[in-house]
């Protein structure tokens, strides 16, 4: 059997339908965001030329987190939709507790996306930003960070052991890969062989690595 | 590690979600256990053994 002949069968399964739906939603979100950014740039409200590669990377990650967070948040308000979309193999509606758990996951992703996008958006709007505006945005980020930490901790305690294992393994793998990669880069930078990385570059790389490794570990453990 | 969870569940005509409710874990966790993608913690293994009224070693077998 070829991959092509398996393809339609996959999309006939509940999981396949969800993948197709999410792919379509991703396309719509990506296209709409691209159009909006293009219009804002044309109107002079945003300037992407001054942004570095890590700003673009974190901006894309933020967009993905915001879109995912909003989608999960909206779906979580319907127990029927939660059951079908967030656990496609389950043949029943989500319980009240499950829907509220999904809602919390949506909030965590949304807050992470907002925090990650705020400095990039501010720089794209005004570079360098005035002190008062930068301080106000920073205060907002700290407030969101504290709120997200609280929601994240609550999620940890509400999760079962498989989710906790996936989170722990993702953290461990991300740490070991990044500590090696960043050490090697830092050594090269110290020896004037490599260009300097900013803290924002490192954070953007860490977020990208964490999300990628999280997807791989989740798939390997059967959470995908 | 191999296990007889799927067989034991089928004997009782329980869905994965039914078993998950009884074990207070998610359906995905039951699926991961059945497909061998995840080995349970000792407390969860004891809980499974108590639920099916069998010893841990009759449910879980080391593949080595």
- Count other Cβ atoms within 10 Å, centred on residue A190: 10
What's the sign of the alpha-carbon dihedral A37, A148, A198, A212? negative
- Residue B9 confidence class, pLDDT cut points 50, 70, 90: very high
Over residues A60-69, the mean pLDDT reads 94
CA pair distance B50, A122, nearest whole angstrom: 57
Same domain, A137 and A26: yes
Calculate helix-pair angle for A161-190, A199-220, nearest 10 degrees.
140
A89 and B27: CB-CB below 8 Å? yes
CA A178 vs. chain centroid, Å, equals 18
User: In the structure, what pLDDT confidence band is assigned to residue A7 with cuts at 50, 70 and 90?
Assistant: low
The pLDDT of residue A5 = 61
Assess B16–A contact: CB distance below 8 Å, yes or no.
Answer: yes
CA neighbor of A99 nearest in space, from A124, A76, A66:
A76
Residues A153 and A165 in one domain: no
Q: Give the residue from chain B lying closest to A158, CA to CA.
A: B25
Option in B15, B24, B32 nearest A162 (CB): B32
3-state secondary structure of B13: coil
Dihedrals φ, ψ of A87, to 5°?
-145, 75
Q: pLDDT for B33-56, tens place per residue?
A: 999 999 999 999 999 999 999 999
Mark yes or no for CB contact B31/A92 under 8 Å: no
Which residue is closest to B28 within chain A, CA to CA? A223
**Domains held by chain B: number:** 1
- B29 vs A90, A92, A160: nearest CB: A160
Question: Do A153 and A107 contact (CB within 8 A), yes or no?
Answer: no
Distance CA(A71)–CA(A144), nearest Å, equals: 19
Is A139 domain-assigned? Answer: yes
A55 and A114 within one domain = yes
| Domain assignment present for A53 | yes
Distance between CA atoms of residues A189 and B60, nearest Å: 51
| Range list of β-strands (E), chain B | 2-3, 60-61
A219 lies in which domain range?
A: 160-224
Q: Is A88 within the bounds of a domain? A: yes
Contacting A residues, span 77-106, partner chain B, CB-CB under 8 Å: 87, 89-92, 98
Confidence class for position A167, pLDDT limits 50, 70, 90: very high
For chain A, percent helix, then strand, then coil, each to nearest 5?
Answer: 80, 0, 20
Complex ipTM: 0.91
The CATH number covering residue B31 comes to 1.10.260.40
Residue A119's nearest CA partner among A108, A109, A133 is A133
Cβ–Cβ gap B17/A91 under 8 Å? yes
How many distinct structural domains can be found in chain A?
A: 2
Last residue of a domain, one of A158, A176, A205: A158
Select from A132, A158, A184 the last residue of a domain.
Answer: A158
pLDDT of residue A94: 87
In a domain, A47, yes or no: yes
Residue span of the structural domain in which B41 resides: 2-61
> A57 and A78 share a domain?
yes
Q: Which of A131, A158, A185 is the last residue of a domain?
A: A158
pLDDT of residue A2: 58
Whether residue A94 contacts residue A102, with contact meaning beta carbons closer than 8 Å, is answered with yes
- Judgement on whether residues A153 and A65 belong to the same structural domain of the protein: yes
Residues A17 and A87 in one domain: yes
At A212, the pLDDT band (50, 70, 90 cuts) reads very high
Closest residue of chain A to B23, computed from CA coordinates: A160
**Residue in chain A lying closest to B32 (CA):** A222
Share of chain A above pLDDT 90, in %: 63
A31 and A76 belong to one structural domain = yes
Same domain, A111 and A204: no
**pLDDT one-digit tens code per residue, A117-148:** 999 999 888 888 999 999 999 999 999 999 99
Helix (H) or strand (E) holding A47: none
């Amino acid at each position: 059997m070829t991959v092509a002949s398996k393809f339609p069968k996959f999309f006939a399964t509940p999981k396949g339908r969800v993948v197709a739906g999410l792919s379509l939603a991703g396309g719509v979100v990506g296209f709409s965001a691209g159009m909006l950014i293009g219009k804002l740039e044309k109107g002079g409200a945003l300037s992407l030329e001054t942004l570095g590669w890590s700003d673009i990377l974190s901006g894309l990650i933020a967009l993905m987190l915001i879109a995912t967070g909003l989608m999960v948040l909206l779906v979580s308000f319907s127990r029927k939709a939660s059951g079908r979309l967030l656990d496609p193999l389950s043949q029943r509606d989500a319980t009240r507790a499950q829907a509220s758990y999904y809602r919390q996951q949506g909030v965590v992703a949304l807050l992470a996306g907002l925090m990650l996008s705020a400095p990039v958006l501010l720089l794209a709007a005004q570079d360098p930003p005035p002190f008062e505006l930068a301080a106000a945005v920073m205060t907002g980020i700290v407030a969101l960070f504290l709120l997200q930490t609280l929601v994240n901790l609550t999620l940890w305690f509400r999760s079962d052991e498989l989710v906790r294992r996936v989170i722990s393994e993702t953290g461990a793998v991300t740490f070991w890969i990044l500590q090696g990669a960043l050490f090697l880069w830092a050594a090269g930078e110290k020896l004037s062989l490599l260009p300097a990385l900013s803290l924002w570059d490192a954070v953007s790389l860490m977020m990208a690595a964490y999300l990628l490794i999280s997807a791989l570990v989740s798939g390997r453990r059967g959470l995908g | 590690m191999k296990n007889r969870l799927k067989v034991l569940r089928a004997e009782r005509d329980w869905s994965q979600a039914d078993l998950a409710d009884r074990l207070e874990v998610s359906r995905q966790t039951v699926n991961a256990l059945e497909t061998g993608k995840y080995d349970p913690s000792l407390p969860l293994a004891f809980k499974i053994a108590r639920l099916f009224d069998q010893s841990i070693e009759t449910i879980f077998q080391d593949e080595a």
